[in-house]
Chains A and B, each alone.
Chain A
Amino acid sequence: MASLLLSALLLVALLHAQSPPPGAPLTLVSRDGRRPIPTTVVNGQELIALDDVAALFQVAVREDTLVGGMTVIYRGRTIVVSADRPMASVNGRVITLPAPPVRSGRRWLVPLEFLPRALAPLLDTRIDLRRPSRLVIVGDVVVPRVTARIDAAGPPTRVTIEIAPATPARVTREGNRVVTRIDADALDIGLPGDGAGLVDAFRPGDQPTTLFVVLDERAGATRFAPTDVGGVTRIAIEVAAAGPDAAAPPAAAAPPPPEPAVPLLLNTSPSVLQTIVIDPGHGGGDVGVHGSGGVEEKQITLQVARRLRTLIEMRLGVRVILTRDDDRSVSLDDRAAAANNSKADLFLSLHLNASPVAAISGAEVFHLRLDREGEDARRAAQTEAVSLPVLGGATRTIDVIQWDLAQARHVDRSATLATVLEEALRGANVAMAARPRQEAPLRVLTSVNMPAALIEMGYLTNTGQERRVRSDEFQNAVAQGIYDGVLRFRAYLEEQRP
């Protein structure tokens, strides 16, 4: 009688505690498909009924009155949970749970963590609980994380979709939507709340493995460029504004591309430019220059780097690697290592300047100046090669150069790069400083084993320029200028090619 009363009280308490109700139900994703998992929230803890676990995973669940708990059995192996204890014993090994199991009438409820921590070792399979996307992934299924962001509101509006780990995807334009179909069992989707510019919204598609980018009615032609970089598939989408004859179907209403002369993809093979590393200066605790209006150098360098990446990936089909794609501290050596290890063909470091004189403004392009030691290293690099014996009795010739002077052999081409970048930035209406091109012993450039330049995009100590660097207009102009410079430098490299 007493136990019946206790159960009734517990049930009342449980029903009372159920507000707020859980959000969307959990979805179980396995080789067999997708199934919803009902959950209950008690005291802020999301719980799943052991009966449902039994039905979903085909395990036996039995009440064990002796220990005052429940036993879950699968092929002779057991999990034992007991009331009021935030733990479980899996084949004799104790695992912890964030809360004790709850008994509700004849049902036993356990925290969601029971699935990866207790059930996964029992079944000897992978169970991945992804709370933000409300997914429980069971076994060897492909459920990549898919995120989207707007890099520039434009127009043209530039959008990046990232799929991690890298997964094949097809992108098509269907009416007022750009549809991305991803070759996976399910998607773990994280989308921005709102669109911007010519993009109205991002939505999960009609199929579990599709994603919609819903376009504004003013949207014209779209271009897409998927690339795989560092284990992530990145799809750059550019949406142009519709032309004056917007009444025509969107495909026909495509305005001429901003640069008709530029080929969408390189046909030359192999290209002189296959990988470009963009280095957004500073990051994390190192904010770089701090403007009096609150703008931090590290924010702007990353924003421009992302715009430039989209532009280069879209129009050149070249692999672009950022030395950092978020707000974190990266050492100067790690930045150079990222470029050298990916055998990049070009290294572009982005920065913002400072001066004790508030009036000074404008952009400057730097390339490396060698000291005597560097000149020696350059001469040595031109003449010295080491022959190493390899298996089979042959020899292989390798170039040897000091790591911290790797730039020495590229100084001439880097000087050309700086010249074309300066001209191109000027051509893109980026205001240049009084000394627009300089040669200097800059630390980040010394160790990169490829043509390299550092671009100081403007002065954060100039209040007018500090306001402007945040604008789309400024950031697009700089990205366009650098992109034009890269094109000219590619032409120069092709001329040089024997």
Chain B
Amino acid sequence: MNPRGYIAVGVGVLLIGLLAWGVMRSLERLAGVESVPERVVLEPSTPPPGVPRITATLFYGSADGDALVAVRREVALADGTVPQAREILQAQLQGAPAPYASVIPEGTALRAFYTTERGDAFVDLSPEVSARHPGGSSTELLTVFAIVNAVTANLPTIQRVQILIEGREVDTLAGHVDLRRPLERDFSVVREER
């Protein structure tokens, strides 16, 4: 194949990818999976101009600390589930925009993200997520489900998420929420912003 042929195929693949992504998002809305109240916030951490972007749903602590709030934010568009999940998680791990409360310890970084054929995803985080966690069942729940929900709400092919620390399975982050198995999304801790 000549170079023009390669370019044509490459553009074709990209277009199909974008189309698939768009169809999945639309189906998801039609199916009513996303019943979470959302707000769109534009923040300085959004991708630089010129980079294609999508709107994703991220989860932050509510201003009163009682629950998670779903917030629409723009993140860089990536090709495929795994690269897109990485973009979404990297945005999710950053501090919360005002007026929300940050429920993920500062300095927590994404080490790896991978999926299985069963629809389980593994989010491998740096040790700060546990070492700097303030503790308490309520905040630990918000930390865990901000991450689990950010993946499952935006990537409908992923049903469950297991959090790892430095590549290893862990019992809990700070002694409360059971992380030994993959967790399904939990929107009971998400509420509409008052």
Contacts and interface: CB of A to CB of B under 8 A. Distances in A.
A332 to B, nearest CB: 7
A359 interface: yes
Given A281-B175, A371-B181, A443-B171, A289 B135 contact: yes
Contacts of B102: 356
Nearest to A353: B136
Given A366-B137, A441-B178, A360 B184 contact: no
B2 interface: no
Contact of A354 (B66, B135, B180, B184): B135
A443 B139 contact: no
B178 A355 contact: no
B178 A357 contact: no
B175 A443 contact: yes
A353 B141 CA distance: 11
Given A289-B136, A354-B136, A443-B178, A360 B64 contact: yes
A22 interface: no
A438 B68 CA distance: 14
A332 B171 contact: yes
Interface string A427-443: 00000011100111111
Interface in A322-361: 332, 351-357, 359-360
A302 B136 CA distance: 16
A174 interface: no
Given A351-B136, A355-B136, A371-B181, A443 B65 contact: no
Contacts of B135: 288-290, 297, 354
Contact of B137 (A373, A440, A446, A461): A440
A404 interface: yes
A364 interface: yes
A131 interface: no
Contacts of B184: 371-372
Interface string A399-411: 0000010000000
B65 A364 contact: no
Counting contact residues on chain A (CB < 8 A from B), the size range is: 35 or more
Contacts of B175: 281-282, 286, 288, 332, 443-444
A360 B65 CA distance: 7
B176 A443 contact: yes
Interface in B121-142: 134-139, 141
B165 interface: no
Contact of B66 (A351, A360, A404, A461): A360
Interface in B54-85: 61, 63-67
A474 interface: no
Nearest to A372: B184
A434 B66 CA distance: 7
Nearest to A361: B65
Nearest to B65: A357
Interface in B28-71: 61, 63-67
Nearest to A332: B171
Given A352-B136, A354-B134, A354-B135, A442 B65 contact: no
Given A286-B175, A435-B66, A353 B183 contact: no
A441 B137 contact: no
Contacts of B177: 440-443
Looking at A286, A356, A435, the one whose CB has the most chain B CB atoms below 10 A away is: A356
A353 B103 contact: no
B18 interface: no
Given A286-B175, A371-B183, A441-B177, A356 B101 contact: yes
A434 B103 CA distance: 18
Interface in B176-194: 176-181, 183-184, 188
B93 to A, nearest CB: 15
A456 B138 contact: yes
B65 A356 contact: yes
A356 B171 contact: no
B134 A442 contact: no
B115 interface: no
A354 B171 contact: no
Contact of A357 (B61, B171, B183): B61
A404 B180 contact: yes
B136 A459 contact: yes
A297 B134 CA distance: 11
Nearest to B144: A441
B172 interface: yes
B139 A434 contact: no
Given A372-B184, A434-B66, A355 B141 contact: no
A308 interface: no
A454 interface: yes
Contacts of A359: 64-65
A254 B183 CA distance: 56
B136 A357 contact: no
The listed residue with most A CB atoms (<10 A of its CB), out of B63, B138, B172, B177, is B138
A220 to B, nearest CB: 40
B142 to A, nearest CB: 9
Nearest to B188: A439
A353 B138 contact: yes
A441 B63 contact: no
A432 B100 CA distance: 23
Interface string B89-123: 00000000000011100000000000000000000
B63 A357 contact: yes
Contacts of B180: 404, 443
Interface of B: 61, 63-67, 101-103, 134-139, 141, 171-172, 175-181, 183-184, 188
6 contacts: A289-B134, A289-B135, A355-B138, A371-B181, A372-B184, A442-B176
4 smallest CB-CB distances across A and B, nearest first, come from A357-B65, A354-B136, A353-B136, A443-B178
Given A364-B137, A441-B177, A454-B137, 17 more contacts: A288-B135, A289-B134, A353-B136, A353-B138, A355-B61, A355-B138, A355-B139, A356-B61, A356-B101, A356-B103, A357-B65, A373-B181, A434-B64, A442-B176, A444-B176, A454-B176, A456-B138
